[in-house]
C-alpha cells in the first residue's frame, strides 16, 4: 500500500476513485528559523560544519558554521589597508603643514619688505634725486605685488592643508567602516539556533540534493532551518484543475509517508492564488495550500519535510 500510495504522490495531485481528489504535500512547521549562507568577501563560501540533521537544538546552540578563512583573510587585508591609509594621510598632512608654515613665513617677510619699500618711497625726490625716487616707487610696486603673491600662496597652501585633513578623515572613516563590515562578516559565519527545535537540511536549488558539511554555497543560499515542532501543518501543492474543486474549511484525510497505514483528519484553511513551478513534477504550476490537523486525535511524531498525501472529497 505504501509504495502504491506514494507512487501516486510522486506524480502530483490527481483524481482518485469515488471522485476524491488526492493532493501532494509535506509536513511543515509554523515557526522556524531559516539559516541562510551569510555574506562573504567573494560571494561564495564553504559549509564547515552542520549539526546532524534531526538533532534537537537549544536556543544558542551552534547550528551551522561556515568556513571563514576568506573573510579572515579579508579582515587582515583591510587592517593593512587601514594602517596604510592612516600613514599616508599623516605624511601628506605633515608635508602640507610644513609648506603652509613656509608660505606664511614668506608672506610675513613680504609684508616687512613692503613696509620698508613704502618707507623709502615716501622720501621726496628733492632729497634723493629723480632717479632714486623712481627706483623707490618701482620697488614699492614690486613689494606690493610680491606680498599679494605670497599671501595667495599662503592661502593656497592653507586650503590644500584643510582639504588634505578632510580627505584623511573621510579615508579613515571609510577604512574604519570597511574594517567593521568585514569583522562583522567573519563573526556572521557561525549561526546559532534562535529557538528550541530540530535542525533540518534544505536542498540545493539547482541539484535538489541536500546540503552537507563540505559543500560550497553561494551567499543567500537557504541551507538549513531550525524548526519548532509544536505546531505542525501540511503544506499542499495544488494544481490548477483541482484548485477549482477545493475551498477553505473543507475536511480532508491526511496520509503520511512515514505512517502509510493510518489516516488523520484535518481541514483546508488556506489556499494561495499564485502558482509556482515544480520541475520534478513537470511543467504545470502548483498553488500552495494549508491543512491543519484536527485536535481530537493522537498524532505521531511529526517532522517537517515528511511526505504527505491529502484526500479531499468535494
State residue 85's pLDDT score: 84
User: Is residue 200 domain-shared with residue 53, that is, in the same domain?
Assistant: yes
Q: Is residue 92 one of the residues assigned to a domain?
A: yes
User: Is residue 144 domain-shared with residue 253, that is, in the same domain?
Assistant: no
Q: Is residue 261 one of the residues assigned to a domain?
A: yes
CATH number of the domain at 47, please. Answer: 2.40.30.170
Q: How far apart are CA 44 and CA 41, in angstroms?
A: 8
User: Is residue 249 domain-shared with residue 141, that is, in the same domain?
Assistant: no
User: Is residue 101 domain-shared with residue 170, that is, in the same domain?
Assistant: yes
User: Is residue 155 domain-shared with residue 143, that is, in the same domain?
Assistant: yes
Number of C-beta neighbours around residue 171 at 10 A: 16
Domain extent at residue 79: 71-175
Q: Is residue 236 one of the residues assigned to a domain?
A: yes
User: Is residue 62 domain-shared with residue 196, that is, in the same domain?
Assistant: yes
Mention every residue, 6+ apart, whose C-beta is less than 8 A from residue 7.
none
User: Is residue 142 domain-shared with residue 224, that is, in the same domain?
Assistant: no
Instruction: Map the chain to HEC letters.
Output: CHHHHHHHHHCCCEECHHHCEEEEEEEEEEEEEEEECCCCCCCEEEEEEECCCCCEECCCCEEEEECCHHHHHHHHHHHHHHHHHHHHHHHHHHHHHHHHHHHHHHHHHHHHHHHHHHHHHCCCHHHHCHHHHHHHHHHHHHHHHHHHHHHHHHHHHHHHHHHHHHHHHHHHHHHHHHHHHHHHHHHCCEEECCCCEEEEECECCCCCCECCCCCEEECCCEEEEEEEEEEEEEEEEEEHHHHCCCCCCCEEEEEECCEEEEEEEEEEEEEEEEEEECHHHCCCEEEEEEEEECCCCCCCCCCCCCEEEEEECC
State residue 70's pLDDT score: 67
Grid coordinates belonging to 278: 515544480
State residue 91's pLDDT score: 92
Q: How far apart are CA 52 and CA 72, in angstroms?
A: 26
User: Is residue 238 domain-shared with residue 210, that is, in the same domain?
Assistant: yes
Q: What is the pLDDT along the chain (314 residues), one digit of tens a residue?
A: 444 344 344 444 444 444 789 999 999 988 889 999 988 777 888 999 999 998 899 999 999 998 877 666 777 887 888 888 888 889 999 999 999 999 999 999 999 999 999 999 999 888 888 999 899 999 999 999 999 999 999 999 999 999 999 998 898 888 888 888 777 777 778 899 999 998 999 999 888 899 999 999 998 999 999 998 888 899 999 998 898 899 999 999 999 998 988 999 999 999 988 878 777 677 778 899 999 999 989 888 888 888 999 999 87
Q: Which of 175, 206, 241 is the last residue of a domain?
A: 175
Number of domains within the chain: 2
Enter the pTM of the model.
0.52
User: Is residue 94 domain-shared with residue 155, that is, in the same domain?
Assistant: yes
User: Is residue 255 domain-shared with residue 143, that is, in the same domain?
Assistant: no
Q: Is residue 185 one of the residues assigned to a domain?
A: no
Amino acid at each position: 500500500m505504501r509504495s502504491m500510495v506514494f507512487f501516486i504522490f510522486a506524480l502530483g495531485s490527481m483524481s482518485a476513485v469515488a471522485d476524491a481528489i488526492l493532493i501532494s504535500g509535506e509536513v511543515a512547521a509554523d515557526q522556524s528559523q531559516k539559516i541562510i549562507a551569510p555574506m562573504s568577501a567573494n560571494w561564495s563560501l564553504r559549509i564547515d560544519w552542520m549539526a546532524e540533521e534531526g538533532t534537537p537544538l537549544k536556543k544558542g546552540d551552534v547550528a551551522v558554521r561556515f568556513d571563514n578563512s576568506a573573510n579572515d583573510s579579508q579582515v587582515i587585508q583591510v587592517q593593512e589597508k587601514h594602517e596604510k591609509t592612516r600613514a599616508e594621510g599623516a605624511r601628506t598632512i605633515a608635508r602640507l603643514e610644513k609648506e603652509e608654515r613656509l608660505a606664511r613665513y614668506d608672506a610675513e617677510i613680504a609684508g616687512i619688505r613692503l613696509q620698508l619699500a613704502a618707507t623709502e618711497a615716501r622720501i621726496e625726490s628733492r632729497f634723493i634725486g629723480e632717479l632714486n625716487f623712481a627706483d623707490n616707487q618701482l620697488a614699492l610696486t614690486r613689494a606690493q605685488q610680491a606680498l599679494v603673491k605670497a599671501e595667495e600662496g599662503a592661502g593656497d597652501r592653507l586650503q590644500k592643508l584643510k582639504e588634505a585633513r578632510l580627505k584623511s578623515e573621510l579615508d579613515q572613516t571609510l577604512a574604519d567602516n570597511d574594517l567593521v563590515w568585514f569583522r562583522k562578516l567573519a563573526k556572521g559565519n557561525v549561526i546559532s539556533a534562535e529557538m528550541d527545535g530540530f535542525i533540518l537540511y534544505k536542498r540545493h536549488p539547482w541539484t535538489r540534493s541536500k546540503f552537507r558539511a563540505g559543500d560550497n554555497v553561494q551567499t543567500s543560499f537557504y541551507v538549513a532551518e531550525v524548526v519548532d515542532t509544536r505546531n505542525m501543518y501540511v503544506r499542499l501543492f495544488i494544481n490548477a484543475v483541482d484548485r477549482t474543486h477545493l475551498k477553505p474549511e473543507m475536511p480532508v484525510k491526511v496520509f503520511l509517508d512515514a505512517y502509510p497505514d493510518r489516516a488523520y483528519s484535518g481541514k483546508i484553511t488556506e489556499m494561495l492564488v499564485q502558482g509556482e513551478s515544480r520541475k520534478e513534477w513537470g511543467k504545470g504550476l502548483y498553488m500552495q495550500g494549508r491543512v491543519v490537523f484536527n485536535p481530537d486525535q493522537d498524532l505521531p511524531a511529526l517532522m517537517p519535510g515528511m511526505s504527505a498525501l491529502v484526500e479531499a472529497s468535494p
